[in-house]
Amino acid sequence: MGRPCERRSFCYCSMQESGKKMAAISQNTATLSVERAAAGQRSGRWLWLALAALLLAAFVLSVGLGSVNIPLGDVLTTLTGGQPARAAWQTIILDFRLPKALTAMLAGAALAISGLQMQTLFRNPLADPFVLGINAGASLGVALVVLAVGTTGAAMLAGLGLLGDMSLTTAAVLGAALSLALVLAVARRVGSVTTLLVIGLMFGYAVGALVSLLMYFSIPERIQAFINWGFGSFGGVTWQQMPLFAPLLLAGLLLSWLSVKPLNALLLGEDYARSMGVNVRRARLGIIAGGALLAGTVTAFCGPVAFLGIAVPHVCRSLLRTSDHRALIPACLLAGALWALGADLAARLPSSEIVLPLNAVMALLGAPVVAWILWRQRGLRL
Amino acid sequence: MNAVLSAENLSVGYARRTVLADITAALLPGELVCLIGANGVGKSTLLRTLAGMQPPLAGRALLLGDEVQRLDLRARAKRLSLVLTERVDAGMMTAYALVALGRYPHTDWSGRLSAHDDAVVRRALAAVGASDFAQRNIDELSDGERQKVFIARALAQEPAVILLDEPTAWLDVPRRAEIMRVLRVLAHESGRAVLLSTHDLDLALRSADRLWLLAHDGRLHVGAPEDLVLNGALAAAFVTEGLEFDVHSGAFRLSKTHLLPVHLAGHGLRALWTARALERAGFRASGEPCPLTIDVLEDGRWRLTSGQQSARYSTLYDLLMALRKSLP
């Protein structure tokens, strides 16, 4: 209960004093924090090296293992441009295993980065590359081709030359591209990300309903073909398709790298981002375009590969202990590629003829790992 | 001095509802201004409009001479920064990284910090007394530490004006005073203008260089806190039935006409706090003879006399319990 003037003079004294104290403390902590940051960087560097080494090992394994046993020496010779002991091995490695491994790496990186972008954009740890319904569009395209071919409507379309010899992939690409265009058109007009998220969900439900209607009216063999597509596979991309698949993904990766700064600002929410000079609408459009391009391309060529896109960003965050996208994007690139290669390897059940469904393997092996990591970290963060 | 931020006949609100009309005021460099007013009178809407977060309905908001609404976002960010009232779950980042985000309008496309940016961030952290926990994760910080970091972030943007929407809302009383002191020093020493809205009237009266007081009728009174006390504007803006403004202490309290008089005999600190306790319990300490009398005794106890009955109490708590029982 001092008088105001007493309090004021008291305040002033303590102000000066604490000012001096503050300066002294900040000098101490400046050196301290630099050391700690350096230590953090050192452990970070090990992590990067480990990731890169693991990825390289997984790549060699992926190319080296399969239903035909090829000695590691011959695998390496072939990869470096030499001639293996048998000519058939060269074909197996270069025409089958190599494109598959490359596809897995590109797809894994793409999905992980796309998932990271969506989680940050929607400020939601449960967001994945497909929140906006990209995979629903692709699956509708595939469903139309697989399920409707032979029914009267499709016969009519085929008669018009629209379906002709349209392949599964082309249908999926078209479906994904159309839903991407729709998402972008909606995103330009919708103000809040939450609204956009709900619209994306509704779009997914509506398209899913169309697909199940198609399934209801089609014959079992065709449904089986559609289900097979839904399992996901990295084996479908041939060297003929690679010139389309790879550049699309590289463009998407470039787009996501260009949005690294607004992504970091968006961690504080749209109001803060705007106050720091982010053109939120433009940034959002760029992020969605990049993320959807990545997810759409992968879905079109590999099927709806689930789990990886939601899990890998969380794993990277808790390994690096940061939300900084300048670190997370490269980390997701490596870890996503590694995860996809690993899942593909596991799905092949080495030295057997059986290939398990990719999505099942991905989630079955991955879910416990992710749960364990998040358990240790005690909570999900963005 | 030229105003850094000014409102010219500004009307703010939403398409169907005008919240405030015809506001004119100016913010000068180096001053700490508190925007106060009763709940729902439009403080946040005014702040948001001044910050360019929503368009004005009429009039202009000028930031260093340019209309806030028309400024390029990056140019605006270099002149004005914000501390918002909502708690942001900002993910996994250190206090340093969060403050470094404030360099956004100054850095290149990738957001890489130059040596100069790093120095600015460190200075900002030191200015709010947050250097100690610069390398800690923000979700490990207390509310007060966290608020300091968000202020440092606004400072790292190196703006001419910092706007804060209820920066002390989540804090306990000592922390509120500390944040206000930080802001005051910051305004005076850096020459930046600081405008903050607050519900903490007492702190605003003690800390602000000027008050922007939004009255019930939507008029904005501007002046030194003491001027607004003396001309009655402050009392008029907040007084409601049963509450009155005490011009001597500069605080609001329950209106005395509603209190039951009790004769209080005694002096010194104990008498003072006895009077306060009485007031809290719905009584008024009076010098006049009353049916109830309280003596502050030298032995550290209190005596309550009601007619013929008299009892002694060793704590104020017991005294108040007895008083309440004696009420009709």
| Separation of alpha carbons B29 and B190, rounded Å | 9
Q: Which of B73, B153, B253 to mutate to test the interface with A (most CBs of A within 10 A)?
A: B73
Contact A230, A303 (CB under 8 A): yes
C-alpha A378/C-alpha A268 separation (Å) is 21
Structure confidence by residue, pLDDT tens digits, A35-86: 444 445 556 788 899 999 999 999 998 888 877 788 888 888 888 888 888 8
Yes or no, beta carbons of A382 and B129 under 8 Å apart: no
Whether A381 is in a domain gets the answer no
Q: Say yes or no to pLDDT of A6 above 50.
A: no
Q: What is the CATH number of the domain that holds A337?
A: 1.10.3470.10
Asked if the C-beta of A24 comes within 8 angstroms of chain B's C-beta atoms, the answer is: no
Question: Given CB atoms, is B198 within the 8 Å cutoff of chain A?
Answer: no
Please judge whether A18 and B139 are an interchain contact, meaning their C-beta atoms are less than 8 angstroms apart.
no
> How confident is the model over A170-193, as pLDDT tens digits?
777 788 878 878 877 887 788 788
Give the pLDDT of residue B274. 92
CA A56/CA A61 separation, integer angstroms? 9
Task: Identify the DSSP state of B158.
Answer: -
> Measured between alpha carbons, how far is A199 from B282 in angstroms, rounded to an integer?
56
User: From CA A299, how far away is CA A290, in angstroms rounded?
Assistant: 14
Residue A368 C-alpha, separation from nearest chain B C-alpha, in angstroms: 22
Q: Is residue A292 part of a domain?
A: yes
Distance of CA B189 to the CA centre of its chain: 20
Is B235 within 8 Å of B220 (Cβ atoms)? no
Does A282 lie at the interface with B, CB-CB under 8 angstroms? no
Give the per-residue pLDDT at A204: 87
pLDDT at residue number B287: 83
The Cα–Cα gap between A224 and A240 comes to 26
Token digits for B285?
A: 């300490």
Is residue A291 within 8 Å of residue A310, measured between CB atoms? no
Q: How many domains does chain A have?
A: 1
Shortest CA distance from A21: residue in chain B: B129
ipTM, 2 dp? 0.83
B170 and A CB contact within 8 Å: no
DSSP letter assigned to residue B134: T
Q: Does B97 touch chain A (CB under 8 A)?
A: yes
Residue A307 lies inside a defined structural domain of this protein: yes
Q: Which residues pair with B211 in a beta bridge?
A: B34, B223
Task: Mutate one of B32, B103, B104 to test the A interface: name it (highest A CB count within 10 A).
Answer: B104
Question: Which pLDDT score, from 0 to 100, does residue A162 have?
Answer: 41
> Can you state the angle between helices B173-190 and A4-64, rounded to 10 degrees?
90
Three-class HEC string of chain A? CCCHHHHHHHHHHHHHHHHHHHHHHHHHHHHHHHHHHHHHHHHHHHHHHHHHHHHHHHHHHHHHCCCCCCCHHHHHHHHCCCCCCCHHHHHHHHHHHHHHHHHHHHHHHHHHHHHHHHHHHCCCCCCCCCCCCHHHHHHHHHHHHHHHCCCHHHHHHHHCCCCCCCCHHHHHHHHHHHHHHHHHHHHHHCCCHHHHHHHHHHHHHHHHHHHHHHHHCCCHHHHHHHHHHHHCCCCCCCCCCHHHHHHHHHHHHHHHHHCHHHHHHHCCCHHHHHHCCCCHHHHHHHHHHHHHHHHHHHHHHHCCCCCHHHHHHHHHHHHHCCCCHHHHHHHHHHHHHHHHHHHHHHHCCCCCCCCCCHHHHHHHHHHHHHHHHHHHHCCCCC
- State whether A265 and B126 contact (CB < 8 Å): no
Write out the DSSP string of B304-320. EEETTEEEEESSHHHHH
Amino acid code (one letter) for A357: P
**What is the rounded distance in angstroms from the CA atom of residue B286 to the CA atom of residue B263?**
5
- Tell me whether residues A267 and B272 touch, CB distance under 8 A: no
| C-alpha B292 chain-centroid distance | 39
**Per-residue pLDDT at A352:** 67
Give the pLDDT confidence score for residue A350 in this predicted structure. 60
The residue of chain B nearest to residue A28, with distances taken between CA atoms, is B132
Name the closest residue on chain A to residue B177, using Cα atoms: A11
State residue B325 phi and psi, 5-degree precision: -65, -30
- Of B110, B76, B202, the closest CA to residue A274 belongs to B76
* Greatest mean pLDDT range, A342-351, A371-380, B186-195, B245-254: B186-195
CB atoms within 10 A of CB B166: 19
A164 pLDDT more than 90: no
Task: Please enumerate in sequence order all residues whose Cβ is within 8 A of that of A6, keeping only pairs 6 or more positions apart, or say none.
Answer: none
Q: What is the DSSP string of B55-81?
A: --SEEEEEETTEEGGGS-HHHHHHHEE
Residue pLDDT tens, chain B, 328 long: 689 999 999 999 998 889 999 999 999 999 999 999 988 889 999 999 999 999 999 999 999 999 999 999 999 999 999 999 888 877 789 999 999 999 999 999 888 899 999 999 999 999 999 999 999 999 889 989 999 999 999 999 999 999 999 999 888 889 999 999 999 999 999 999 999 999 888 899 999 999 999 998 889 999 999 999 899 888 888 877 667 777 777 777 766 666 788 899 988 899 999 988 988 888 888 888 888 899 999 998 999 998 888 899 999 999 998 888 876 5
A16 in B contact zone (CB under 8 Å): no
Mutate to test the interface with B, among A274, A276, A328 (most CBs of B within 10 A): A276
**Which range has the worst mean pLDDT, A43-47, A293-297, A367-371, B152-156?**
A43-47
For B12, other C-beta atoms within 10 Å of its C-beta total 25
Q: Is residue A23 part of a domain?
A: no
Domain that holds residue A360: 50-62+69-79+98-376
CB B91 to CB A381 under 8 A?
Answer: yes
Cβ distance A295 to A351 under 8 Å? no
pLDDT at A377: 67
- Interface probe for B, chosen from A33, A256, A266 (most Cβ of B below 10 Å), is A33
B183 vs A348: which has the higher pLDDT: B183
Q: What is the DSSP letter of B266?
A: -
Tokens for A1, please give them.
């209960």
Contact A271 B110 (CB under 8 A): no
- Looking at per-residue pLDDT, the higher value among A124 and A158 belongs to A124
Lookup result for tokens 């209309």: B67
CA pair distance B98, B120, nearest whole angstrom: 13
Cα-Cα-Cα-Cα dihedral sign, residues A301, A304, A308, A314: positive
| A9 in reach of chain B (CB within 8 A) | no
CB contact under 8 A, A277 and B102: no
The residue count of chain B comes to 328
What radius of gyration do chain A's Cα atoms show?
A: 25
pLDDT on residue A116: 95
- Using CA atoms, how far apart are residues A330 and A325, in angstroms rounded to an integer? 8
Looking at residue B267, its pLDDT comes to: 86
A188 inside domain: yes
Asked whether the beta carbons of A222 and A155 are under 8 A apart, the reply is no
Q: Does A13 touch chain B (CB under 8 A)?
A: no
From the number of C-beta atoms within 10 Å of its C-beta (0-12, 13-18, 19+), residue A219 rates as exposed
For A237-255, the pLDDT digits (tens) are: 888 889 889 999 999 999 9
Q: Does A39 touch chain B (CB under 8 A)?
A: no
CB atoms within 10 A of CB B219: 14
What are the chain A neighbours of B81 within 8 Å (beta carbons)?
275-276
- Judge whether B109 is closer than 8 Å to chain A, CB to CB: yes
Say whether residue B58 is in contact with chain A using an 8 A CB cutoff.
no
Give the residue from A244, A288, A245 showing the smallest Cα distance to A129.
Answer: A288
Q: How far apart are CA A95 and CA B327, in angstroms?
A: 97
A269 touches chain B (CB under 8 A): yes
Mention every residue, 6+ apart, whose C-beta is less than 8 A from residue B317.
none
CB A175 within 8 A of CB A142: yes
Structural domain contains residue A285 = yes
Between strands B17-27 and B66-67, the pairing is unpaired
Q: Which residue of B has its CA nearest to A274?
A: B73
Specify burial of residue B127 (Cβ count, 10 A radius: 0-12, 13-18, 19+).
buried
Reported as a single tens digit per residue, the pLDDT across A303-316 is 888 889 999 999 99
Does residue A27 lie in a domain region? no
Note whether residue A2 is domain-resident.
no
Asked if B158 contacts B149 with a C-beta cutoff of 8 angstroms, the reply is no
Residue B211 pLDDT? 95
